[in-house]
Amino acid sequence: MSARYELRFSGSGGQGMILAGIIMAEAAAIYGDKNAVQSQSYGPESRGGASKAEVIISTQPIDYPKATAIDCMLAMTQEACSKYHYDIKPGGILLIDSNEVKDVPKGHFKTISFPIIETARKELGKTIVANIISLGMIAELTGIVPHEAVEKAVLARVPAAFVELNKKAVQIGFQSAKGLK
């Protein structure tokens, strides 16, 4: 990996993008052997609006905590995609929800399109775990953090009653992304 690997999780407030970012950072820094910082930018809305979380992963100490050139970005809504895709670096990855993002931005990056929310609904009956599915997908697509660490980090963050649901969600994420690389 390069000195900094930069991830951005974006969507609308309430979709769990910040939680996805936190879990990714924990997977890298607590359950993995790398450094990570997670930051976020948000407006006054608790629900709705565009929200983003950024995670910088590195083998070195991390000084600047914000993104400089994004290696991989997730966009769960059109608004977030349009607003935040501007600094994906050439050769980077843009993962979008295919049902939500219709106006696909063009750039020197690879766009991967998948019905993330629909999968959550169809496979697990709960759209709330769409963020965990996307987390699994990003882990698979980027290879930046081992699957085991991601799963541990997910399970450490969710209430006991939802462990099985989230376990399935993260596995669906890993599997779904396999054929898309």
- Give the residue, chosen from 7, 20, 22, 76, that forms a contact with other proteins under the rule CB under 8 A: 22
What does the block give as tokens for 55? 């995670």
In the complex, minimum distance from the CB of residue 26 to other proteins, in angstroms, rounded to a whole number: 5
Q: Cβ of residue 114: shortest distance to other proteins, in angstroms?
A: 27
Smallest distance, Å, CB 165 to other proteins?
Answer: 23
- Pick the closer one to other proteins by CB: 62 or 104: 62
| Burial per residue of 56-87, b for 16 or more beta-carbon CB atoms within 10 angstroms, e otherwise | bbbeeebeeeebeebbbbbbbbbbbbeebbee
Interactions with other proteins, residue window 49-108 (CB under 8 A): 62-66, 68
CB of 144 to other proteins, least distance (A): 16
44 binds other proteins (CB under 8 A): yes
Smallest separation, CB 51 to other proteins (Å): 11
Residue 62 beta carbon to other proteins: minimum distance, rounded to whole angstroms: 8
CA dist 28 and 76 (Å) reads 22
User: What is the b/e burial string over 118-157, where b = at least 16 CB atoms within 10 angstroms of the residue's CB?
Assistant: ebbeeebeebbbbbbbbbbbbbbbbebbebebbbbbbbee
For residues 112 and 132, the answer to whether their CB atoms sit within 8 Å is no
With respect to other proteins, which residue has the nearer C-beta, 64 or 103?
Answer: 64
Q: Which amino acid is at 151?
A: E
Of the two residues 37 and 129, which places its CB atom closer to other proteins in the complex?
A: 37
Of 66 and 181, CB closest to other proteins = 66
Residues 53 and 11: their CA atoms lie apart, in Å, by 9
Give the residue from 140, 157, 143, 153 showing the smallest Cα distance to 5: 143
Number of residues that bind other proteins (CB under 8 A): 22
Q: Of 69 and 122, which CB lies nearer to other proteins in the complex structure? A: 69
Q: Which residues bind other proteins (CB under 8 A)?
A: 22, 25-26, 29-31, 35-44, 62-66, 68
